[in-house]
């Protein structure tokens, strides 16, 4: 479908969401999703936190933080994060060094005990917390893979596959232990290291794209890494004999602005960047989980101060009330009215997962 028709379809669907309509379910859904884009500051961890809450209303879920910044873990655990003796990094190093697998009960932390907002959800929610030590992991990973490349073909593939599949094995064991029906992985804005392993583990990707030029460029880089056989993802997967490639399930346009004169219509700047993102996505249409890539697009409001409140107070946006005030970093912030639009948008997004 030409991109102008695709834009019309995206806008029509967005308007229906804001009017309160329940949209038809997506044709395909997956169990394990990784949230990825090769740029920071786009609202990735905020999106992860809010999707975790919305998914947790319906499904027993496992949350995984593979980013060394640990924002997702911080949103869930707050100060409790520093009390855990073992993290994803500990389990990962054990996998890579051939030690006895880390017991799932040591790294799967119940979320409800640490985050009050999740306490009244009926399904059980668990998390494997991240670690700042993952920052140095890429050099370890790729030096190890380079060593394996010197082995004979049989041993090269076996050793490389064991390394690249390490996070998947950890997640599979913990998911079995927790009986998780949905898995959500928050990744680093850099591909190397744990993000690579997260893509090997994930069935599908959720790609947040902020409505600005740098994020649009990062979208192309992300899709090219997923597609280009000469780049690291496929190059090292080929060394390991791995054929796996996650589908792109959602392009989530974040921080969208809206036309003040025409209700439920994005402003001209937002429309421009959505158009650009759709053009790039169309170049990589074979990577998507739908035949028509525009069906994978979702628009989320620019929630302004509500995002800072949500992150600092560790309250999902769907639990915030417009007009209520909070003290954040010594400032008095008010929940802006756009939070009500965001609630409908993120619930529609969650329904696609």
Alpha carbons within 13 angstroms on the beta-carbon side of residue 318 total 21
**Domain of 36: which CATH number?**
3.40.50.300
Can you tell me the mean pLDDT for 302-318? 86
Can you tell me the mean pLDDT for 74-101? 91
With contact defined as beta carbons under 8 Å apart, do 211 and 255 qualify?
Answer: yes
pLDDT at 49: 95
Confidence of residue 2 (pLDDT cuts 50, 70, 90): low
Q: Which domain holds residue 47?
A: 3-20+29-351
Residue 296: is its pLDDT beyond 60? yes
- The rounded mean pLDDT for the chain is 92
Can you tell me the mean pLDDT for 248-253? 97
pLDDT at 306: 85
Q: Which of 319, 37, 50 is closest to 184 using CA atoms?
A: 50
**pTM here?**
0.95
What DSSP string runs through 75-115? HHHGGGGGG-S--HHHHHHHHHTT-PPPPHHHH-EESTTT-
- What total of structural domains would you count in the chain? 1
């Amino acid at each position: 479908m030409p991109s102008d028709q695709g834009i019309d379809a995206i806008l029509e669907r967005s308007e229906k969401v804001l009017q309160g309509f329940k949209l038809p379910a997506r044709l395909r859904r997956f169990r394990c999703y990784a949230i990825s884009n090769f740029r920071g500051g786009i609202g990735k961890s905020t999106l992860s936190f809010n999707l975790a809450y919305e998914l947790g209303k319906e499904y027993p879920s496992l949350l995984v933080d593979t980013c060394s910044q640990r924002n997702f873990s911080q949103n869930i655990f707050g100060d409790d994060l520093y009390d855990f003796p073992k993290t994803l990094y500990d389990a990962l190093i054990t996998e890579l060094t051939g030690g006895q697998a880390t017991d799932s009960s040591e790294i799967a932390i119940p979320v409800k005990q640490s985050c009050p907002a999740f306490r009244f959800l009926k399904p059980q929610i668990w998390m494997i917390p991240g670690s700042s030590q993952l920052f140095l992991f890429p050099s370890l990973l790729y030096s190890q893979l380079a060593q394996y490349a010197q082995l004979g073909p049989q041993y090269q593939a076996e050793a490389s596959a064991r390394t690249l599949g390490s996070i998947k094995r950890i997640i599979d064991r913990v998911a079995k232990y927790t009986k998780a029906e949905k898995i959500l992985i928050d990744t680093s804005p850099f591909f190397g290291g744990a993000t690579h392993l997260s893509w090997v583990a994930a069935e599908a990707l959720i790609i947040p794209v902020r409505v600005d030029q740098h994020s649009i460029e990062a979208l192309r880089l992300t899709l090219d890494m997923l597609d280009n056989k000469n780049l690291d993802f496929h190059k090292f997967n080929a060394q390991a004999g791995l054929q796996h490639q996650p589908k792109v399930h959602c392009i989530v346009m974040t921080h969208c602005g809206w036309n003040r004169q025409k209700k439920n219509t994005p402003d001209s700047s937002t429309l421009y960047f959505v158009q650009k993102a759709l053009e790039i996505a169309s170049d990589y249409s074979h990577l998507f989980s739908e035949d028509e890539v525009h069906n994978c697009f979702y628009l989320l409001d620019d929630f302004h101060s509500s995002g800072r409140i949500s992150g600092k107070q560790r309250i999902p946006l769907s639990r915030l009330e417009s007009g209520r005030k909070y003290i954040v970093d010594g400032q008095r912030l008010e929940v802006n009215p756009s939070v009500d639009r965001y609630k409908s948008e993120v619930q529609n997004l969650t329904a696609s997962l």
